[in-house]
Structure 1
């Protein structure tokens, strides 16, 4: 223990002068202490940092909420790291002092706001230390079809850097302005999952700070157990600081075909036919309102990427049983397609939807039971339950996913389905509790049908027993990895897997 101040240690409490400089943590008082406060009693000195630790002001408030605006939990400090070693030191410091710590892909209340789409407190660390991942924002290189990047880089930033070299990201989410570290920690799913798996399945190596404060490079050939656990591991085994991302040659154009269906059986059959026959390069689906607003119907979004020769539309559409009179076909530049959500985001922000509470729900169902589950959704779902959001529904293949803790139905089905309620409620909508209750009700209905949840969603009241059930046959493996890589459970408490 010491009260000396390092010349490199810039640790701010929100006030000016040496007396306001944060110098350590008082275990007795459960508080960070300043130089002025430190002399009367003992404290554990902070390590020397290249970056900044902030313990007051707007940064704490900004990291005390998330995209869902349903759960709050203000940290005691925000680390703006100047290096990976800062993260390693603070993980070790948190461990020694009984604090929790987590990386967050947002940027608090800074003017250049970045998103983190956890919607139910998953990345929050109440009373602990939140790490601003945006301070690790360097693309180190793009070479030989791969990119080595800091995980505070967004998918959008990497996509544009890759496109400048004739390459593209693959397996990406629909919305691109998310940190790479956050996305690969939870999985990351979009309309290329049928071909490339989740975004985390395009990761070939990581640099990670484990819960013991060790900095490790892991890959399928080096520390494979850690690599398999941490990628898609929801931040439970380490803080991923760099990633090697696989890229592909970039096309230049996108042919977009929207197909509409009046009955679910035909929709499901055609979706799976399109996927199995490899007809398109991007495939999603939705539950949508009928044109006269009299009920629900189904939509397939089928997209083919190309560079020189436009695809044969007749071949792609052959044998499909959509309502052909309603088909919508457009062509656009490939980059415009990738960034297609940006204009919608701008509108949602301008109209007051973006920063409202958002009770999202995401489930993965077996193909064998999806048609038993969706009628329950249709019977329960009112248009106002979505606001101006949407409900996704599309298939993918189990064999394309490679990491064990993105949980999949424990059935024999090779074909699986993602179901989403990505709600953007109307401003001041009084029915938020109804939406959360609906999430809970639909989750309870889905479990006997073999469903698993995608952990970014908002499902209230998850018990330890339900989390054990969620991880199923992988639960003992999860516990073993936790004991090995985060033995004191300091990492990412907001997931509540072990509560």
Structure 2
């Protein structure tokens, strides 16, 4: 709604969770709240959008993509403006509530938070529906201005119309801009451009005190460093200015297979170092005859115009199983949206709605082979289900934001165990316990977490160890920008 006052219908939404007791020009509707209400009476502030408290409204915000943790909020804010978010953060602070932005990403009718272990939930608090701020504001010659609730799919398509693209994209594009910037945003061009957080020029942020602040490398630098990769602890990103580069027209994609881990590691680091490809990923997957695991190096050479890249030159010196290699030449946009068909398959086969005990790590290169051998010895096709395990290297120096902490070696491997268990299989509690075991073993080898994963039992000491040298600065930023602990309780860093 666009009115300057919250209407009676906007407060109630036709719902029974709140009983309206009166209207005041200065206080708005005063509600006698029931159920998850924070107090006997709550003064609902004037809003441009709506605040809803019915079971039907809050229920979808109590569960996320991972379907492992649930906790419905007291209310859902559907913002009509950035001012609404400032107002409701102040309201939450006054009423001792928590508040979290909820990306509401996905495709079709499957719109939900794409955290997988309750990271974006605010049980008993306020969830903010990011779709209220989902515009592509402007696309210039080298940058885009976007609201935080816009998806990377929206931005990629809009930029492509002007011959441009974000340099760093996640493999799955139907994720909110604000969501991935709060975590890192990793994809196949990390070897060249770093994470999505490394390609941000500035952000507009609502802090935990309700202030709207612009932050960049030259303005409010401490806040800039705290919100990019900071898990939503110090501010809610509401708008971002992002780098754009010229988009290629086509992508020549190679799928190269390896039975031997050491050979895969050597070739993966070789092509990373010499930069012959524009994008690079890797995967552990079952052999076609189901006799065991092997490795796939996926690499893409982007091009435009009439002359395709030299295939022999791109493959020179690599020791893959060449007869098994696959080569596809398609459009750049088709390659960017390549997971859409896989998503449709996962939904059709019933994998999409299952709990997803994912484990995402950054491994030091010197220990990556050792850790992968351990995982491969334990992993079963039933555990992986319809999912996959990504595993590939990148130069650690490409990751520049302080809170996207990395191992202390020149080369890091992404380890991304993305389980999609089949309906009825297997024991999810056992898989979560194994995640914790693998996490502890990885940390002992010098690994760091990527914040999307599901690792049970994380303590404040675990998080202190994870953030390492950045912990004190992170704590100080939390005290400064969110002194009452209003924002994003699901991460649990400071609890």
TM (norm. structure 1) is 0.93
Distance 1:136 1:29, change over 3 A: closer
1:210 to 207, 211, 217: 207
Q: Counterparts in 2 of 1:466-477, with a 5 A limit?
A: 466-477=462-473
Distance 1:15 1:207, change over 3 A: same
Match of 1:380 in 2: 378
In the alignment, does 2:220 pair up with 1:223?
A: yes
Distance 1:277 1:47, change over 3 A: same
Tell me, in whole angstroms, the C-alpha distance in 2 between the residues paired with 1:59 and 1:450.
43
Match of 1:64 in 2: 62
Q: RMSD value over aligned CA atoms?
A: 2.2
Question: Matched residue pairs, number?
Answer: 484
> In 2, are the aligned partners of 1:14 and 1:20 still within 8 Å (CA)?
no
> In 1, are the aligned partners of 2:105 and 2:114 still within 8 Å (CA)?
no
SS at structure 1 position matched to 2:62: coil
SS at structure 1 position matched to 2:124: coil
Match of 1:404 in 2: 402
1:273-303 Cα shifts (integer Å, max 9, x gaps): 1011001011000111122211111110010
In the alignment, does 2:28 pair up with 1:31?
A: no
For residue 25 of structure 1, report the CA deviation from its aligned partner.
Answer: 6.5
Q: Counterparts in 2 of 1:296-335, with a 5 A limit?
A: 296-308=293-305, 309-335=307-333
In the alignment, does 2:490 pair up with 1:494?
A: yes
2:270 to 266, 269, 273: 273
1:415 to 411, 414, 419: 411
> In 2, are the aligned partners of 1:387 and 1:426 still within 8 Å (CA)?
yes
Match of 1:99 in 2: 97
> In 1, are the aligned partners of 2:209 and 2:481 still within 8 Å (CA)?
yes
For residue 15 of structure 1, report the CA deviation from its aligned partner.
Answer: 3.0
1:344-379 Cα shifts (integer Å, max 9, x gaps): 111211221111111111010111111121111111
In the alignment, does 2:443 pair up with 1:447?
A: yes
Match of 1:341 in 2: 339
For residue 144 of structure 1, report the CA deviation from its aligned partner.
Answer: 2.1
Tell me, in whole angstroms, the C-alpha distance in 2 between the residues paired with 1:404 and 1:229.
8
Tell me, in whole angstroms, the C-alpha distance in 2 between the residues paired with 1:119 and 1:251.
33
Tell me, in whole angstroms, the C-alpha distance in 1 between the residues paired with 2:33 and 2:475.
28
Tell me, in whole angstroms, the C-alpha distance in 1 between the residues paired with 2:5 and 2:451.
41
For residue 398 of structure 1, report the CA deviation from its aligned partner.
Answer: 1.3
> In 1, are the aligned partners of 2:21 and 2:30 still within 8 Å (CA)?
no
Match of 2:286 in 1: 289
Distance 1:304 1:435, change over 3 A: same
Match of 2:25 in 1: none
Tell me, in whole angstroms, the C-alpha distance in 1 between the residues paired with 2:274 and 2:288.
30
Tell me, in whole angstroms, the C-alpha distance in 1 between the residues paired with 2:360 and 2:434.
12
Distance 1:118 1:404, change over 3 A: same
Tell me, in whole angstroms, the C-alpha distance in 1 between the residues paired with 2:383 and 2:194.
30
For residue 57 of structure 1, report the CA deviation from its aligned partner.
Answer: 3.0
For residue 113 of structure 1, report the CA deviation from its aligned partner.
Answer: 3.7
Gaps of 5+ in 1: 34-40
For residue 388 of structure 1, report the CA deviation from its aligned partner.
Answer: 1.2
1:356 to 354, 357, 364: 354
Q: Counterparts in 2 of 1:99-248, with a 5 A limit?
A: 99-106=97-104, 112-248=109-245
1:424-457 Cα shifts (integer Å, max 9, x gaps): 1101224212211221111111111000111100
> In 2, are the aligned partners of 1:288 and 1:299 still within 8 Å (CA)?
yes
SS at structure 2 position matched to 1:11: helix
> In 1, are the aligned partners of 2:37 and 2:124 still within 8 Å (CA)?
no
Match of 2:52 in 1: 54
Tell me, in whole angstroms, the C-alpha distance in 1 between the residues paired with 2:80 and 2:302.
40
> In 1, are the aligned partners of 2:171 and 2:336 still within 8 Å (CA)?
yes
1:251 to 248, 251, 262: 248
Distance 1:78 1:318, change over 3 A: same
Tell me, in whole angstroms, the C-alpha distance in 2 between the residues paired with 1:7 and 1:157.
30
TM (norm. structure 2) is 0.94
24-33 vs 126-135, greater mean Cα deviation? 24-33
Tell me, in whole angstroms, the C-alpha distance in 2 between the residues paired with 1:442 and 1:430.
18
SS at structure 1 position matched to 2:238: strand
110-119 vs 225-234, greater mean Cα deviation? 110-119
> In 2, are the aligned partners of 1:439 and 1:459 still within 8 Å (CA)?
yes
Tell me, in whole angstroms, the C-alpha distance in 1 between the residues paired with 2:48 and 2:85.
10
Distance 1:29 1:151, change over 3 A: closer
> In 2, are the aligned partners of 1:106 and 1:134 still within 8 Å (CA)?
yes
Distance 1:289 1:221, change over 3 A: same
> In 2, are the aligned partners of 1:25 and 1:31 still within 8 Å (CA)?
no
1:5-41 Cα shifts (integer Å, max 9, x gaps): 95657312543899488934679997268xxxxxxx7
SS at structure 2 position matched to 1:206: strand
